[in-house]
């Protein structure tokens, strides 16, 4: 399940993932939110938080994430990724250099710091 977090500037898409994230979550929440913000602002900022209740991604979610990332490859100004799932944090850190914007990984205890960074 994906939820858009309120209270962020309009050029920031802040989302939190809980339980199992599905391809339908991407199709109904993430992709429309990205596309609406990109249409309005051009480049946007993304805060992606894997909450404490996060279980995983289904195959369709991983596919939608990859295709959305490719489609909007240059549409991000910066990305903050917040998670306590070590293997995912390592993957984001390892492949963040190929993304043409700053990508920073935070632990869940640093959510406030990640929020400040994405807003600045």
pLDDT in tens, 48-91: 999 999 999 999 999 999 999 889 999 999 999 999 999 999 99
From start to end of the chain, where are the E strands?
2-4, 12-21, 44-57, 76-82, 103-106
Answer yes or no: are the C-beta atoms of 99 and 78 closer than 8 Å.
Answer: no
Statement: residue 96 has pLDDT above 90: no
Select 2-112's CATH number: 1.10.150, 3.30.750, 1.10.3470, 3.90.120: 3.30.750
β-strand pairing of 12-21 with 103-106: unpaired
**57, 81 contact by CB (below 8 A):** no
Domain boundaries, the chain: 2-112
Provide φ and ψ at 65, rounded to 5°.
-60, -45
pLDDT of residue 2: 96
Q: What is the pLDDT of residue 85?
A: 95
Task: Render pLDDT for 21-37 as a digit per residue (tens, 0 to 9).
Answer: 999 999 999 999 999 99
Evaluate if residue 95 carries a pLDDT over 90. no
- pTM metric for this prediction: 0.94
In this prediction, residue 6 has a pLDDT band, given cuts at 50, 70 and 90, of very high
Give every CB contact of residue 42 below 8 A, 6+ residues apart in sequence: 75
Which residues partner with 105 through β-bridges? Answer: 81
């Amino acid at each position: 399940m994906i939820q858009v977090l309120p209270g962020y500037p309009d050029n920031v898409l802040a989302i939190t993932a809980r339980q199992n994230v599905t391809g339908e979550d991407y199709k109904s929440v993430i992709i429309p939110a990205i596309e609406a913000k990109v249409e309005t602002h051009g480049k946007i900022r993304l805060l992606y938080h894997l909450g404490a209740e996060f279980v995983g991604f289904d195959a369709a979610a991983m596919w939608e994430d990859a295709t959305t990332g490719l489609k909007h490859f240059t549409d991000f100004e910066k990305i903050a990724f917040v998670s306590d799932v070590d293997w995912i944090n390592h993957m984001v850190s390892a492949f963040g250099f190929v993304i043409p914007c700053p990508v920073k990984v935070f632990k869940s205890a640093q959510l406030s710091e990640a929020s400040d960074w994405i807003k600045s």
